Structure 1
């Protein structure tokens, strides 16, 4: 009977990265399983407290501004500070960004700098290609340090884009610390309802492949602009 149970668990492990059939020695997990857990936990912590390298932003031709996050500790305690731009950041956008673009792309570290480091090169370039294939024009892309999803509204108020894409690091887990999300909204402004946003999540090499995700995001943006809506009202 025990042999059948183990065989079934082995079959399940082919379809999920979840921690199932973790071995034990008495009341403690096996050394290999305990070490695996500690490695994944350390990777998750590093992704939260990590920094996106300036060299990567330079390769993508992006300048950087800050929210009012102040520090990582404050960012984790005060999510609302990640939804607002710093005074210097607002001034920078007004000086350097195209106003009222058809599509605005913003990249943010969010809760995982590792997600940006691992995926953004492929996602950003493929997304630009996808939007170009639909004849859509993008504004001035930039990097936002310490961003939260709600920052879309503050940026939308300032730049007045028609469609908005926020590529942001997801909260890391013990399966992947490199998962990116793409939040989209039609005309995000102050007071935008969460039901108006839509998301493509779990973008990483073991989840939704970056190139596939970028093509899908481009298609959704095209439909948003055609239907002039987003979120639950969008007919996909």
Structure 2
């Protein structure tokens, strides 16, 4: 910001405060001089904050003069929790507050943003939609997120292979960020794993505004032996990119939740996406061998 810009801003503020012209001129000069003077103890410099979202919480320890820093630091390595962040008097320090707000913003974005259509096209997926007509409806009417629209049913019947051994599909769920961050590695890894086992799978696709329960109707439509959905998890303040895979053997509408097998916490700081894909393929094979899933499956 130039000195002229600073003068104009200060003069405008003082004018709005009904300060006289003489007082305004004096105040402007004092403010500009104060900014330029090194005597006021304030250093103004151009630049920006480091990315607070990139801080590794496992390595962050802000307590001053700790009693057992090494032991506490070792405990922090087990989970990226906001512990040992220190305080400024009775309040949190600035950096942890900014990190918290950044994480909260990322979680909100993950919930309210849609999965980018270019990404869906890049993955070679066609799109169908549940009975939810908007994100607001999706968030307030979970029941509509478990049922496909009539158009979606017709599209799946038209474009999907019927009666595959395995039907895999992707759904946004509660985190579009999780889909964008993980599906590109997980889906190919699952397909490769199934091919190595000699297991055939149907045509993958994308379900917009989908809940986990939509897989039951999809199972009935396609007639698949095993149905697997890759879906975004509800984001938290540690990560907004966590995805889960829900898998069920011969799923039917209205079946108990206990019949689902789940692989959760798929993200770069949890279960690595490529490894998760191979693991999911292995679980699908075990489900097919046992003809059971959920609590009926003994892994």
Query: TM-score, length-normalised on structure 2?
Result: 0.76
CA RMSD of aligned residues (A): 1.2
Residue 148 (structure 1) aligned with residue 211 (structure 2): yes
Counterparts of 1:35-74 in structure 2 under 5 Å? 35-74=98-137
Residue 101 (structure 1) aligned with residue 197 (structure 2): no
**Counterpart pick for 2:95 among 22, 32, 48:** 32
Aligned residue-pair number: 235
Give the superposition deviation at 1:235.
Answer: 2.3
Give the conservation status (yes or no) of the 8 Å contact 1:9–1:20: no
User: Unaligned stretches of 5+ in structure 1?
Assistant: none
Q: Report the equivalent of 1:159.
A: 222
SS of the counterpart of 2:158? helix
Counterparts of 1:48-197 in structure 2 under 5 Å? 48-197=111-260
Query: TM-score, length-normalised on structure 1?
Result: 0.96
Give the superposition deviation at 1:13.
Answer: 2.1
Q: If you compute each CA radius of gyration, which structure gives the higher value, 1 or 2?
A: 2
**1:117-157 C-alpha deviation (Å, 9 max, x unpaired):** 00101000011000001100011110000110100111112
SS of the counterpart of 1:189? coil
User: Unaligned stretches of 5+ in structure 2?
Assistant: 1-64
Give the conservation status (yes or no) of the 8 Å contact 1:161–1:187: yes
**1:42-64 C-alpha deviation (Å, 9 max, x unpaired):** 00000001121122122221100
SS of the counterpart of 2:67? helix
- Quote the Cα distance in structure 2 between the aligned partners of 1:68 and 1:184: 22
Q: Report the equivalent of 2:52.
A: none
Counterparts of 1:197-208 in structure 2 under 5 Å? 197-208=260-271
- Quote the Cα distance in structure 2 between the aligned partners of 1:3 and 1:122: 42
- Quote the Cα distance in structure 2 between the aligned partners of 1:49 and 1:16: 27
Larger RCO (alpha carbons 8 Å, 6+ apart): 1
